[in-house]
Structure 1
Amino acid sequence: MLRNFHIICCYSATGCLQVYLLYPDGKVTTFYQLSDFFVPE
Structure 2
Amino acid sequence: MDIQSIIAYFLVIAAAVFLVKKFFWKKKKKADGCGGDDCGCH
Please report the TM-score for the alignment, with normalisation by the length of structure 2.
Answer: 0.18
Structure 1 or 2, whichever has the larger Rg, is: 2
Higher helix fraction (1 or 2): 2
- Higher relative strand content: 1
TM-score, scaled relative to structure 1: 0.18
